Amino acid sequence: MLCLGLATTGLAKTYTAEELSGYSQADIEAMGNDNISLQIAYWEWRKAVADESIAGLEPQVLPLREQRDLLNSRIAQLQSEINSLQAQINQLRNAGVIHNIVEGECLWTIASYHYYYNDGSMWPTIYERNRDTISDPDLIFAGHTLWVPVPMLSSYTVVEGEYLGKIAGYGVVYGDRGMWPQLYEANRDIISDPNLIYPGQVLTISRTGTGGPR
C-alpha cells in the first residue's frame, strides 16, 4: 500500500493511495493554501503513479523507438535514392547535342536524320527542348543552333555515302569534322585506309581527350 506524508514539527501525517485517489485534481487545486500536507502528498502520489506507468510502458516503447530509428534510416536512404534518380532524370531531360541549322532544314528534316531519330514525326521532341529559343516550330533559321535531346554515341554504324570527316561532324559523335583522326585512331583495327570505310561497319567512338562527353 502506498503511503505518502509530510513531517512537520516532529509529527507526520500519512495518506494512503486509496485516500488520495478520492480527490480530483480540481479538488486539490481549489484548496489554495489550505491543507498543504495533503496537497503535497497528492502530487507526490500522482508522480509516483506516473513513474510507475512509465516504467511499465518502457519495455513496450523501446522496440517502437528502435523501429522508429530503423524507419527514419530507411526514409533517409530512400530520399537519397530519390534525389539521385531525380538528378539522373534531370540530366537525361536536359541532355542533348547541338545541331547547327543549315539552309533548307526544318524540325521534321532534322528529326528524320538517321543519327538522331530516323523519324520526322519526332520533331515535337526537338521543339519542346528548344521552346525558349523557338517561338514558332515552322520557323527556324540557317546559322542558328538548337539542342537535339539525344545522347552522344559510343558506337556508330556507317551508312552509304559517309566518310570519317562527315561522321565526326555529327553532333552525336564529335560535332567537329576536324576530329576525324580520333575516329580513325579508335578504329585502326578495322580501317586500314581512312579514306575507305564501308556501309555496315561499326565504329567505336572514343571519348578520351578533347573528344570526351560534353
Both 101 and 180 in one domain: the answer is no
The number of domains in the chain is 3
Q: Are residues 85 and 118 in the same domain?
A: no
Are residues 70 and 36 both part of a single domain? yes
3-class secondary structure per residue, the chain: CCEEEEEECCEEEEEEHHHHCCCCHHHHHHCCCCCHHHHHHHHHHHHHHHHHHHHHHHHHHHHHHHHHHHHHHHHHHHHHHHHHHHHHHHHHHHCCEEEECCCCCCHHHHHHCCCCCCCHHHHHHHHHHCCCCCCCCCCCCCCCEEEECCCCCCEEECCCCCCHHHHHHCCCCCCCHHHHHHHHHCCCCCCCCCCCCCCCCEEECCCCHHHCCC
Q: Are residues 185 and 211 in the same domain?
A: yes
CATH number of the domain encompassing residue 192: 3.10.350.10
Residue 127 belongs to what domain range?
Answer: 96-151
Query: Are 103 and 144 part of one and the same domain?
Result: yes
pLDDT tens digits in sequence order for the chain, 214 residues long: 455 544 444 445 788 888 888 888 898 888 888 888 888 888 988 998 888 888 888 888 888 888 888 889 989 998 998 888 887 766 666 668 889 999 999 999 999 999 999 999 999 999 999 998 999 999 999 999 999 998 888 999 999 999 999 999 998 999 899 999 999 999 999 999 999 999 999 999 998 754 433 3
Q: Let me know whether 174 and 125 are in one domain.
A: no
